[in-house]
């Protein structure tokens, strides 16, 4: 059984995504990582899912190692 990863938007400091299985928007806390499913049908994600902050890709980080 694989655990899916969903790319989330951060709205009001909460990770939200549109669930392709129950077709609803799920809202979780601000931290990425594994979550228990918010679907009303527990068969959709019996092992939960991982959340990833989509916006993070746009953050530019430059490390200066000199």
Applying CB under 5 A, the span of 16-24, 28-36, 48-56, 57-65 interacting with Zn ion comes to 16-24
Kindly tell me which residue out of 17, 39, 49, 51 binds Zn ion, with binding defined by CB under 5 A.
39
Q: How far is the CB of 16 from Zn ion (least distance, A)?
A: 12
Kindly tell me which residue out of 10, 22, 52, 53 binds Zn ion, with binding defined by CB under 5 A.
22
Residue nearest to Zn ion (CB): 19
Distance CA 40, CA 27 (A): 13
Q: Could you give the C-alpha distances from 53 to 2, 19, 25, 38, 48, in angstroms and in order?
A: 20, 15, 15, 17, 17
7 or 22: whose CB is closer to Zn ion?
A: 22
Distance CA 35, CA 48 (A): 6
């Amino acid at each position: 059984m694989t655990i899916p990863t969903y790319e989330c938007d951060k709205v009001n400091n909460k990770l939200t995504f549109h669930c392709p299985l129950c077709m609803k928007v799920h809202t979780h806390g601000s931290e990425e990582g594994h979550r228990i499913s918010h679907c009303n049908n527990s068969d959709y994600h019996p092992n939960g899912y991982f959340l990833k902050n989509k916006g993070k890709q746009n953050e530019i980080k430059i490390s200066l190692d000199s």
